[in-house]
Structure formats: C-alpha cells, structure tokens
Structure 1
Amino acid sequence: MRIAIIADAGSVHTRRWVWGLKQHGHDIRIWSERAWDDFDHGVVHLLPKALRFRRDVPVAVWQLRREIPQFSPDIIHAHYISHYGLLAALARLSPPLVMSIWGADIECFPKRHGLLSRRLTQWILGQADAITCSSHYLKTISARYTKKPLRVIPFGIDLQRFRPHPPNQGPVRFIINKALEPVYGIDLILTALKDVQGDYVVRILGEGSQRQTLLSLAKTYHLEDRIIWVGKVGLDELPDVLAWGDVGLYPSRRESFGVAPLEMMALGRAVVAHRLGGLTEVINDNVTGFLVEPDNIQAWQQILQQIVDDPSRIRQMGEQGPGWVASRYNFDENLTSMIALYEQLRLTKISQKRKTKI
C-alpha cells in the first residue's frame, strides 16, 4: 500500500511506525514540521512551523492538498489530532483517513479554550474514517467527543531490541527514563529519597527545562553522591543503559500510556509508578511492579525503602515482566493490527467506488 503519514517525523513513535511499515513493504511518505535527517531523501515533506494563533494552518493545508494527491496514497494516517489531525481534517482529501490519538491531544487540548476546543475536537474526529488510541484509558476519554468506533492499538515494544537481561547483583539501582519536565514528577522521587536509608544508587536519563531545578533539589537533600545524571541516551544504547537498573521509577503527573515502563519490564526489570492514566494498564500491580497513589510522597518513601531493604524481591518481580509485555504489547502484533485496519479501509473504498460506477 501507499501510505501518507501526517505526523511529527522527529518523534520516536512516528519513526517506529514508519520503519515497521516499510519493513512490511509499504511505500511511505511523511508530512511533518520536523525533519528526519537520516531518512531516505524525498520521503519527508516539511510543513511550515506552527505559528501563534495557528497562522501556519492555511499554508500547511494548501501544501497537503497539493502534494499528497501527487503521491496518490491508499491511506492517509494523521497522528496527534489537535495538530496533524486538524491539518488532515481541513485538507479534506479523498483517501480513507485514519487518526491516532496519542495523549495530550485528547487529555488537554479539548479543555484549552473551553467550548471552542471541545467543538473543534468533535469536528476533527468527525472527519476520520477510523480512529485509534494507544490505551483503553485514552479510548474512554476520546469517547466523550465522538460516537465513532475507537480501536485500541498500543505503541508496542520491539522485543528483538528489548530482551530479558540477567538480574543484577549488589545494592539496588534505581533508574528514571523521562524528560526532566514538571509533568513527569521527578521532584517527587527526590523528595521521597531524602528519607530512604541504606545503600542504593540512581541514574536519571534525559534532558529538560527542570534540569537545574532538580540538580539544586538533589543538592538540598544531600543526594549528589547517589545520583548520576546521564543526559540524553541514543536509541541504540537505550536497552543496555536501562538494563543497568533494577527498577524504573515513573512518578508522572499525567501519563496516557507508558512506553518507558514497558521497555523496562521487557528487559526483565520491575517498575514503580503512579496509579493513573494508562500506567494502570501497562503495569501488573504487585506482579511486575508497584502502583502508588498520585503525589503520595510518604507512600513513595515507604516502597523505595522496602526495595532498598530487600533487593531480591524486586529483582524476582522483574523476571515476570518479559512475559507480561510479550503477551500484550508486542510491537509486531500491534503493527499487524494497524495494517489490517488500513487494508479494511482500502477495500471498503474500492467497494464504494464500484457501487458508484454501477
């Protein structure tokens, strides 16, 4: 099939879908604000950068109307409805349109400008021929804005890259793999760790606007000797870097799915996360990890102390992760489900054309 992707080419999630589709032999073109420098020349078409009051939209829509018909796709797939989904809806192109909801585009955008945002969300979804969500949590929220069928197709895990690793030995190793931004709640972990006694070490991956604030907080709590700030990690290195840890910590204040904890579990590592959003789906509480009530620093302190006191338990829990992930979040199976949806829409479109001719 020929598939036009309207999405952020700079996102790892977009790239995984595109690579997977290409490996299945599909012809792909991408329309995106951000480039994908190491991808095939001519595959990524750059859209104008977003401007204040969305003054970029008319030019972007005109570009889609001009360029996508030249590609003559069987399917158009727009990812993230409040931006790329809006552009695809306004372009009103003839191939079947799939829209994928990612998270903040349905959790936050409809509330941004009151009734206007809600109505716009309803209208965007109304233009789709099929709608997918990465979690049942998102499906529940999305159902407030459309009566159309909603399919759950997760951002699965590449089980060839994220394979089980042998358990570690020695003192507990905590790892945090999220951007250093307020929404991911890393400050909560630092506050909880200040009262945890015993031998442990922490690695924090990623960059973000809160870096200096978090460094200062760690210094205030006298945690400098326990924490290693790793910074950005390349995709090729990520599985081995994550496997260094015994347990991943995810104190997100909002989380629509949970790719990061799934990657940890696939490696044979346990996780601890807030009991909210999509995290409640991806983590099997008391089996592959623990769920903590949101913003309960005392509960975080208690569970982290238990882990430090008895590392063997959390390492045994980690061994349950690979089977859990493989049975529910295998990327190859998720990709197959998406391709089957494309094929269904393509055949329906062909059937409708035949009926029109008759």
Structure 2
Amino acid sequence: MKIGFITPEYPHPKVSHAAGIATSIKNLVEALVEKGSKVTVFVYQQDSDAIIEEKGMKIHLIKKKRFKFCTWYFYRKHIQNYVNKVVSKENIDILEAADWTGITAFMHFRVPLVIRFHGSDAYFCKLDGRQQKFKNFMFEKLALKGASAYIAPTTYAGEETRKIFGLDAKKIKTIHYGLQLENFENESPETYNRNTILYIGTIIRKKGVLELAEIFNKVVAQNPVAKLVLIGSDAPDIKTGAPSTYKLMESLLSAEAKNQVGYLGKIPYSEVKSHIKKAHVCTFPSFAETLGMVTIESMALQKPVVNTSIGWAQELIDDGINGFLVHPSEIETFSARILQLLNDENLCRNFGKAARLKVEERFDINKIAEINMEYYNSVLNG
C-alpha cells in the first residue's frame, strides 16, 4: 500500500516545527514502512521546497507562499496541485490529513482522503469554553465534509468532533496513537529523583498549568522538599492577553513553592525521556487534549501519573490501577493524590508496572499500524 500524509509538522531537522501531532505521525509512518508500506509525507508551510528520502520514505517540503489576495484559498490549491502530481507519479493509494485549521478545505484529490482528529480548533474551543471564529469553523467543516472517512485517537475525541460538525458516526474509527515501545524502556524504574514532579507540555491555560500552580502550593505545604519541573514552550494567555502564561502561573505560586519550581523551557525531544525517567511522579492536569502523547510515554517508562479525569484520559488510565485520574479543578484531591504517591514507594512501583502493561496492550505502534492498514483498506474497498 502507498500512503500519503499531509501535515504542518514532522520531526526532522529541516522541518520548521514539530510537536505532538508530528510525534504521533512519525511513530505511525515508521511502523507502516517497517511493515512494507510506501509512505510519502507532505509538510506544508515550510521555509523552502525540498524532497528528502530516508528510512524507506519520502518527505516533500512545500514552501509557504503568499498571494496578492485570498492566500488562504490559493495556497490550499497550490498544496492540492502539488500533492495530486505526486499521487499520480508515485501511484499513492490513499491520503491522510489532520483536522486542525481545515487545511484540505477546497482541495480535491485523485484518491480517497482520511482525516485524523488530532484536534480541530472547534474541538479545543468547545473544551475551553471559547467562541471560535466563524471562518475557522467553516474551513474545518468543509475539510471534514470532503473526506471519505475519519480516525479518532480516542472515542471521546471522535464523539465530540462528530457532535460539533454533524458527521456520520459510521465513518469514524477509533485508533489510538502508538509508541515504538523498544524506544521507551526503563531498565531501572527504581532509580529516580525523589519528590520530583514533572510536567511536560506547552505552558498554556488549557493544559491546566494555572491549576497546577495551586496544586503545587498545597503539595509544598505538606512536603517542603518537593520540586516541580516544567518542560515546554511558553505561550501567550488567550483570556487575559498576557504575553507569558508562565508569568501568570508564577504569580500564583506561594513563596515556598516558587523556590521549588524549575522551568526548563522547550528542550530537544531526545532529552525528554531522561527527564521522565528521573521524575518521581508525572502530572498532566489538562482541560483539552485528544489523547496526550506524554501521558502514554510516561506510562511506558513505568512512571506513576496523576492525570486529568476528562473524557479522553479515561481511555488511557484506569483510576487507582495504573495511575490516578482527577479533574484539574479539584485542587485538594489532585494535590492529595500527588502526595500519596510521593509518600508510597510501593504504590509508585505497582502503578508503574501496571502502566507499562497497559501501554503494551493498547498503545504498541506495531499493533496500531496493522489496525490503520486494515482501515485504509476498508476505505479503499468501500
């Protein structure tokens, strides 16, 4: 099978941006290639045009362009024409794109298009309780209506997206993101920096970082040596207009807590695993995700996780068995769960082992690649 992916990001030194979407696509692409599929990745909004061949796949970088008017339309047509030429030349069977910004609105391809719900602007606006721009909604809706089928990383994300856009539930298949588990081995889970709590993700309101400040205040009041390590890019705050959400977070910290916080900013992805291994507890109090790659990465590395309890997270963690689930607004309960883990090595060990087993069962990219291939075939045979 020959598969093409249309994406704004991919983990490669020549690609200008890569985040959670990029990681999940890369994991899938490499597993598909391993299983004999031919894969072409089209990365738009890049600094220059280029074609990169490596690891049995091709990456086409599509340069960002500006037009005298209606760039939003004509750039889409430029991507469409570029992709269709490659589709014809290389006999690509099926294409996949993300829902974010409805990039495939107004595009018409020569092969079926599957859209994966990495998280549309409409989806995140709904979870955030924000008003979405009408233009953005229409782009996303047009893109989705033009697809042959859909993939949701969690049933929750699929159902919420279906309700927002009025999609046919029969065309939506839940297929989780996956990990290359051989890259997430923790040979010594009993070795870590005691009392270190780790958060990984953009420093942004929707990720629950302001609540995390209040949670950590309560943790430090009970455990003065506890330390909170934050990894991720700072972002402006959409509600207040403040240029730095981290500064807002910092303003909520008590004097004692502020001395125990280490903010590392954005670091290379290759370094993140070592920080997860060093952590005592990982925590992700998010209000808005479709799945949350860092959660399953932490679980794979046998870390006890205190996660949000909202929808998607219930498909990752079984509360009290392989982690804890708490709503981010429940500050007292959230801090109590973190303290419980910091004070109980046996519980941490048991959660870590059970978390690894859950990831092996549900998030092994080799199994997930097979499910993706079966679904692509079902769309093609339609």
Same fold (TM over 0.5): yes
> 2 CA distance for matches of 1:308 and 1:340?
43
Q: Does structure 2 conserve the Cα–Cα contact (< 8 Å) formed by 1:62 and 1:91?
A: no
Give the direction of change, closer, same or farther, for the CA distance of 1:32–1:168 in structure 2 (3 Å limit): same
AA paired with 2:197? F
Q: Identify which range, 328-337 or 190-199, moves more after superposition.
A: 190-199
Determine whether 1:95 maps to 2:118: no
Instruction: State which of 163, 170, 174 in structure 1 corresponds to 2:185.
Output: 163
Determine whether 1:40 maps to 2:53: yes
Q: Does structure 1 conserve the Cα–Cα contact (< 8 Å) formed by 2:94 and 2:112?
A: yes
> 2 CA distance for matches of 1:54 and 1:134?
33
AA paired with 1:213? L
Shift of 1:235: 2.5
Give the direction of change, closer, same or farther, for the CA distance of 1:32–1:310 in structure 2 (3 Å limit): same
> 2 CA distance for matches of 1:126 and 1:290?
38
Q: Does structure 1 conserve the Cα–Cα contact (< 8 Å) formed by 2:216 and 2:228?
A: no
Q: TM-score, normalised by structure 1?
A: 0.84
Instruction: State which of 256, 259, 272 in structure 1 corresponds to 2:293.
Output: 259
- State the match for 1:202 in structure 2: 228
AA paired with 1:141? E
Aligned residues: 342
Instruction: State which of 363, 373, 376 in structure 2 corresponds to 1:329.
Output: 363
> 2 CA distance for matches of 1:38 and 1:185?
39
> 2 CA distance for matches of 1:151 and 1:229?
38
SS at match of 1:151: strand
CA deviations on 1:299-335 (whole Å, 9 max, x unpaired) are 2232233233334323332221110111011112112
> 2 CA distance for matches of 1:8 and 1:106?
18
- State the match for 1:146 in structure 2: 167
- State the match for 2:246 in structure 1: 211
Q: What CA RMSD, in Å, does the superposition of the two structures yield over aligned residues?
A: 2.9
Shift of 1:183: 1.3
Shift of 1:169: 5.9
Q: Which runs of 5+ in 2 are unaligned?
A: 10-17, 236-244
- State the match for 1:13 in structure 2: 24
Shift of 1:35: 6.2
- State the match for 1:353 in structure 2: none
- State the match for 1:3 in structure 2: 3
> 1 CA distance for matches of 2:102 and 2:63?
12
Give the direction of change, closer, same or farther, for the CA distance of 1:113–1:225 in structure 2 (3 Å limit): closer
- State the match for 2:143 in structure 1: 124
Shift of 1:250: 0.8
Q: Which runs of 5+ in 1 are unaligned?
A: 350-358
Give the direction of change, closer, same or farther, for the CA distance of 1:54–1:105 in structure 2 (3 Å limit): farther
SS at match of 2:218: coil
| 1:1-358 superposed matches below 5 A | 1-9=1-9, 10=18, 11-25=22-36, 26-34=38-46, 39-40=52-53, 43-48=59-64, 55-72=71-88, 73-86=92-105, 90-108=106-124, 112-113=132-133, 121-144=140-163, 145-147=166-168, 148-164=170-186, 165-168=188-191, 171-196=194-219, 197-198=222-223, 199-209=225-235, 210-218=245-253, 220-346=254-380, 348=381
- State the match for 2:15 in structure 1: none
> 1 CA distance for matches of 2:249 and 2:66?
30
Q: Does structure 2 conserve the Cα–Cα contact (< 8 Å) formed by 1:176 and 1:248?
A: yes
Shift of 1:207: 2.0
- State the match for 1:355 in structure 2: none
Q: Does structure 2 conserve the Cα–Cα contact (< 8 Å) formed by 1:171 and 1:311?
A: no
Shift of 1:258: 2.0
